[in-house]
Structure 1
Amino acid sequence: MKKNIALGVLFAIFGFTQMDAQILSDKAMGALGKGVSGLTFSDADAAALAKQSIDELDANNPVAPETDGYSIRLNRLFGKHISSEGVTLNYKVYLVKDINAFACADGSVRVFAGLMDVMDDNELLAVIGHEIGHVVNHDTRDAIKAAYKKEALLDAASSQSGKIETMTKSQLGQLGSAMIDSKHSRKQESQADTFSYGFMKRNGYDVNAEESAFRILQNISEGAESSFMTKMMSSHPDSGKRADDAKKRATKDGLYKAYVQQKIDNSTPVKAKAATKTTAKKTTKKK
């Protein structure tokens, strides 16, 4: 079945990153950007907004229960990494067919079932290690600030007061959608790639899985969905180049060897009604 590829996030998206993921500049945002450019936006502000927004996203997407095979697999892989580099993380799976994952400023990491269908354990470790890198490097803070400004969620009074105002569910839905659609810079993506490699190496995982993960995404981008991806992306370093960079890191450390993908098993060990995958929903209600 053809997979629906969603450009993600704060991510964020580890894979389809030909797009130049630029955070909007004040100039590009016009009067709105100028109005909020002086806003004090701390790590605590970013985490609080991200927490509220991720709660809204979780409420509007099919989250895999703890007994689901996808959740069991993810918890098995990352249960030991809920605290990484001083950041407390939480993981959930969205039972959607999109090949995607993203991280938020509050340490929330959301992985889509479609991604888990095409990557083995080590490849997933590389992907989510990349996402952890975005959190640790404060990229997610910058992204949610950009999303907050982009969605015009500050009125004139609050922008002048320099305070983050309380938002409605509708506004949080807007922000959550903007978070998924926001992009990281080329430099941020490169730094997160390097973080992922270090994460794999420090924890004794096969560092060659990082190259393999990018090759998978490269192959997808050159396949049936290539025209869609070409339309949606631009000048960001492509998956092939990032795979080459990962190979160079492993070669430099004397660790390189061709990676052989292992068995992928997302099955539920107990009898349960299979959850139907759907396309991820993004709440975009207007004020």
Structure 2
Amino acid sequence: MKKRFIVLGILFMTFSFTKMNAQILSDKAMGALGKGVSGFTFSDADAAALAKESVADLDANNPVAGPADGYSIRLNRLFGKHASSDGINLNYKVYLVKDINAFACADGSVRVFAGLMDVMDDNELLAVIGHEIGHVFNHDTRDAIKAVYKKEALLDAASSQSAKIETLSGSQLAKIGSAMIDSKHSRKQESQADEFSYDFMKKNGYDVNAVESAFKILQNLSEGAESSFMTKMMSSHPDSGKRADDAKKRATKDGLYKVYAQQKIDNSVPVKAKAATKTTAKKTAAKKK
């Protein structure tokens, strides 16, 4: 991937990739979903089905960390206990790319980029994922896909005077795939997801001050070499500095505020895990003899 920072789904988009074609879904995959889906009565199930297919395609076209990889071990340690959060079933994976990003989808899929895990400690990552879960819980991801479906599919078929589209053409489905990548959450949705993240941290006994710290990291990145790119991408979203201040105000009001000191960041494979892997390899080799 090109060497530039792509800031979290928190900041500008649900799907953001630097080295991908605009059409993330194959016509075959999209076609299967397009048949019989109503754009006007787009349900949570419709959104989840569409998201599931898109994530499967993304997983197939990105380097996904295996279960024995240090990044996966760390993510599972942190978020495995939250696989079912607020009534939502979640699944987590790490993309082994240097971009700084994370996103969540309507089907509960959460994808975290290795670049993000390289710059944020455990509590900061918890705050970020809490925000992404908030987008799913608040139906932001469903509404984003619904808006794309209506815009790219229904408008072309308006002359039919039908509220239901039985079959979508390959070109219509391609437009949906492209528009999904470029979808943005509103300022209100981002603010509500920020609040969800803070509440998620507080409810689960994590350090709420990490929310402010995570936004400060993003703010510092936006002032670096990629500032012009990031300023453009964040134009429709709340300023990271303001969001950090808002988190600080909430923590202060709750009597929990203190200056956050970032903890050690370690994405390596734990010693015990390495030993277990070697033991398993030896047993496997012995059986083959």
Judge same fold: TM > 0.5, yes or no.
yes
- Does residue 102 (structure 1) correspond to residue 98 (structure 2)? The answer is no
Query: Residues 3 and 214 from structure 1, CA distance in 2 versus in 1: closer, same or farther, beyond 3 angstroms?
Result: farther
Deviation for aligned residue 1:179: 3.1
Query: Residues 197 and 171 from structure 1, CA distance in 2 versus in 1: closer, same or farther, beyond 3 angstroms?
Result: same
Query: Residues 97 and 235 from structure 1, CA distance in 2 versus in 1: closer, same or farther, beyond 3 angstroms?
Result: same
Query: Aligned equivalents of 1:268 and 1:177: distance in 2?
Result: 37
Partner of 1:207: 208
Query: Residues 38 and 166 from structure 1, CA distance in 2 versus in 1: closer, same or farther, beyond 3 angstroms?
Result: closer
Task: Normalising by structure 2, report the TM-score.
Answer: 0.77
1:135-171 residue CA offsets vs partner (Å, 9 max, x unmatched):
1111110011123344448863998351465787x98
Does the aligned pair in 2 maintain the 1:208–1:256 contact within 8 Å? yes
Partner of 2:77: 76
Partner of 2:138: 137
Query: Aligned equivalents of 1:56 and 1:252: distance in 2?
Result: 44
Which amino acid in the other structure matches residue 14 of structure 1?
I
Partner of 1:268: 269
Tell me whether 174-183 or 94-103 shows the greater mean CA deviation.
Answer: 174-183
Partner of 1:253: 254
Query: Residues 171 and 37 from structure 1, CA distance in 2 versus in 1: closer, same or farther, beyond 3 angstroms?
Result: closer
- The structure with the largest alpha-carbon Rg is 2
Query: Aligned equivalents of 1:55 and 1:223: distance in 2?
Result: 34
1:23-76 residue CA offsets vs partner (Å, 9 max, x unmatched):
xxxxxxxxxxxxx99621011111111111111111111111111111111010
Partner of 1:4: 4
Does the aligned pair in 1 maintain the 2:186–2:236 contact within 8 Å? no
Does the aligned pair in 2 maintain the 1:153–1:171 contact within 8 Å? no
- Does residue 87 (structure 1) correspond to residue 85 (structure 2)? The answer is no
Deviation for aligned residue 1:237: 1.5
Residue correspondence of structure 1 range 219-234 to structure 2 within 5 A: 219-234=220-235
Q: How many corresponding residue pairs?
A: 248
Does the aligned pair in 2 maintain the 1:73–1:266 contact within 8 Å? yes
Query: Aligned equivalents of 1:152 and 1:38: distance in 2?
Result: 8
Does the aligned pair in 2 maintain the 1:215–1:243 contact within 8 Å? yes
Does the aligned pair in 2 maintain the 1:210–1:243 contact within 8 Å? yes
Query: Residues 119 and 15 from structure 1, CA distance in 2 versus in 1: closer, same or farther, beyond 3 angstroms?
Result: farther
- Percent of aligned positions that are identical: 81
Task: Normalising by structure 1, report the TM-score.
Answer: 0.78
Query: Residues 65 and 47 from structure 1, CA distance in 2 versus in 1: closer, same or farther, beyond 3 angstroms?
Result: same
Which amino acid in the other structure matches residue 162 of structure 2?
Q
1:204-223 residue CA offsets vs partner (Å, 9 max, x unmatched):
00000000000000000011
Secondary structure at 2:110's aligned position in 1? strand
Deviation for aligned residue 1:129: 0.2
Does the aligned pair in 1 maintain the 2:6–2:99 contact within 8 Å? yes
Residue correspondence of structure 1 range 43-82 to structure 2 within 5 A: 43-82=44-83
Query: Aligned equivalents of 1:245 and 1:204: distance in 2?
Result: 20
Does the aligned pair in 1 maintain the 2:40–2:150 contact within 8 Å? no
Which amino acid in the other structure matches residue 160 of structure 1?
S
Query: Residues 219 and 265 from structure 1, CA distance in 2 versus in 1: closer, same or farther, beyond 3 angstroms?
Result: same
Query: Residues 164 and 233 from structure 1, CA distance in 2 versus in 1: closer, same or farther, beyond 3 angstroms?
Result: farther
Query: Aligned equivalents of 2:131 and 2:125: distance in 1?
Result: 10
Judging by fraction of residues, say which structure has more helix: 2
Does the aligned pair in 1 maintain the 2:201–2:208 contact within 8 Å? yes
Deviation for aligned residue 1:96: 1.2
Does the aligned pair in 1 maintain the 2:98–2:113 contact within 8 Å? yes
Query: Aligned equivalents of 1:172 and 1:15: distance in 2?
Result: 26
Structure 1's unaligned 5+ residue stretches are: 18-35, 273-287
Q: Kindly indicate whether structure 1 or structure 2 has the higher relative contact order, using CA contacts under 8 Å at least 6 residues apart.
A: 1
Which amino acid in the other structure matches residue 10 of structure 2?
F
